[in-house]
């Protein structure tokens, strides 16, 4: 079988994301032409051709990884797993001079160690090559030519080619970060969940390394999220179509003439220094206003506008100080952000109560392992203090 058939015969594509962002990712996939879209937990399945696979990598802001299923079989023990992998013809995909890596993901009562299942499949591949050609491809976990995912759900084993390589949240503009940076994918997802219209001001008064304002500026100026990446894994595939990818890379992404104010500030001069550097790396220096300021001293533009922020959650702060911080945040929202919608992401539900405003909406999201709430407050004239 040709490699071409592996990637073109079946139109199935799988995109991975963070929990809570599945619907947003599904709408992104729809907008680039994905068909038969189905969402699961942290995953969106859809159909499309090679062009769509490239586009999903280059254009989706909320995808972590785009995978291409290519082989499926059933296994309930390690021998069946080995057999299922050995029976597949690996020649179109791998050769003696190509490197590969296998990552296992398990959700099965029949297997209990993802590292071990990956090892079993690696052995099957090596044995097949040894038997057929005498020369086997070697494993490179850091920078392989071909990265394979093995998912086992019950007794269903699915092998998928990883077309992204490094996780897509690594856009490429962020070399340095301040404390507890937000994933670029989560930042973009929150901005999209907020329904920001890209015309009114967007403010992050605790911006740390600047991820929220930088992602907002990319969204508003229509900069593809993959624009800064040095490479994608599909560029090492034997069927890589450079012309097709160039067409997507150099595509028409019209920038609006006028951008709204997109601002980030932080008390830490170190954080703002890093945020400025990141904005420079993203060629967005003139599109994001970054300054050193405590939120108490901010003079934001008149509403309507959107405030999105990710305050400290309290891992390194005394509880009393944290409550005070959230309570000041609530006061600042009421006094200075009339007419805004404010979206606050925090894992600390206790501290969130000290904002003292009536939440209009709560969305569960995960920041790494931390279960968070993204809470929306609408700041009408004279917002009432209701919650204690």
Ligand X SMILES: C[S@@+](CC[C@H](N)C(=O)[O-])C[C@H]1O[C@@H](n2cnc3c(N)ncnc32)[C@H](O)[C@@H]1O
Instruction: Report the interface residues with ligand X, using CB under 6 A.
Output: 177-182, 205-209, 211-212, 266-268, 271, 294-295, 310-312, 325
Q: Which is nearer to ligand X, 124 or 207 (CB)?
A: 207
CB-closest chain residue to ligand X = 208
- At which residue do the structure tokens 């301040």 appear? 178
**Least Å from the CB of residue 337 to ligand X:** 14
**Least Å from the CB of residue 78 to ligand X:** 42
d(CA 223, CA 246): 16
**Least Å from the CB of residue 153 to ligand X:** 33
Alpha-carbon torsion 93, 98, 103, 104, what sign?
Answer: positive
Among residues 349, 362, 355, the alpha carbon closest in space to that of 384 is found at: 355
Q: Which is nearer to ligand X, 67 or 295 (CB)?
A: 295
* C-alpha distances out from residue 148 to 11, 72, 107, 139, 159, Å: 18, 13, 17, 11, 7
**Least Å from the CB of residue 222 to ligand X:** 22
Q: Which is nearer to ligand X, 99 or 294 (CB)?
A: 294
φ/ψ of 63, rounded to 5, equals -90, 140
* SS3 assignment, position 117: helix
The CB density around residue 348, as the number of other CB atoms within 10 Å, is 21
**E strand or H helix that includes residue 65:** strand 65-74
**E strand or H helix that includes residue 212:** helix 211-220
* C-alpha distances out from residue 266 to 4, 96, 189, 211, Å: 50, 52, 22, 12
d(CA 162, CA 177): 27
**Least Å from the CB of residue 11 to ligand X:** 36
Q: Which is nearer to ligand X, 145 or 266 (CB)?
A: 266
d(CA 229, CA 166): 10
**Least Å from the CB of residue 138 to ligand X:** 38
């Amino acid at each position: 079988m040709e490699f071409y058939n592996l990637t073109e015969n079946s139109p199935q594509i799988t995109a991975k994301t963070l929990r809570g962002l599945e619907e947003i990712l599904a709408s992104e996939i729809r907008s680039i032409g994905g068909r038969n879209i189905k969402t699961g937990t942290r995953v969106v399945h859809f159909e499309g051709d090679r062009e769509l696979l490239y586009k999903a990598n280059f254009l989706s802001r909320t995808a972590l990884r785009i995978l291409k299923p290519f082989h499926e079989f059933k296994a309930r023990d390690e021998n069946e797993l080995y057999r299922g992998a050995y029976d597949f013809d690996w020649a179109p995909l791998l050769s003696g001079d190509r490197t590969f890596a296998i990552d296992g993901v398990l959700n099965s009562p029949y297997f209990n160690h993802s590292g071990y299942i990956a090892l079993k499949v690696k052995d099957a591949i090596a044995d097949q090559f040894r038997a057929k050609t005498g020369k086997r491809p070697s494993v490179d976990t850091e920078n392989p030519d071909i990265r394979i995912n093995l998912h086992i759900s019950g007794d269903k084993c699915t092998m998928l080619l990883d077309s992204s390589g490094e996780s897509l949240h690594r856009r490429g503009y962020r070399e340095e970060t301040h404390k507890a940076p937000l994933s670029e994918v989560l930042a973009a997802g929150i901005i999209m969940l907020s329904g920001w219209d890209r015309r009114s001001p967007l403010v992050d008064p605790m911006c740390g390394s600047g991820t929220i304002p930088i992602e907002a500026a990319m969204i508003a100026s229509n900069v593809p999220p993959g624009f800064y990446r040095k490479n994608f894994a599909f560029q090492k595939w034997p069927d890589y179509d450079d012309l097709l990818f160039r067409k997507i890379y150099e595509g028409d992404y019209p920038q609006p003439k006028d951008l709204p104010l997109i601002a980030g500030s932080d008390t830490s001069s170190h954080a703002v220094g890093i945020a400025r550097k990141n904005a420079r790396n993203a060629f967005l220096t003139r599109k994001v206003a970054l300054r050193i300021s405590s939120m108490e001293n901010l003079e934001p533009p008149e509403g309507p506008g959107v405030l999105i922020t990710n305050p400290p959650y309290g891992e390194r702060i005394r509880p009393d100080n944290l409550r005070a911080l959230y309570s000041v945040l609530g006061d600042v929202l009421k006094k200075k952000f009339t007419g805004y919608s404010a979206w606050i992401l925090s894992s600390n539900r206790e501290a969130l109560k000290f904002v003292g405003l009536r939440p209009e909406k709560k969305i569960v999201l995960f920041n790494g392992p931390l279960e968070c709430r993204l809470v929306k407050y609408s700041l009408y004239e004279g917002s009432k203090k209701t919650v204690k």
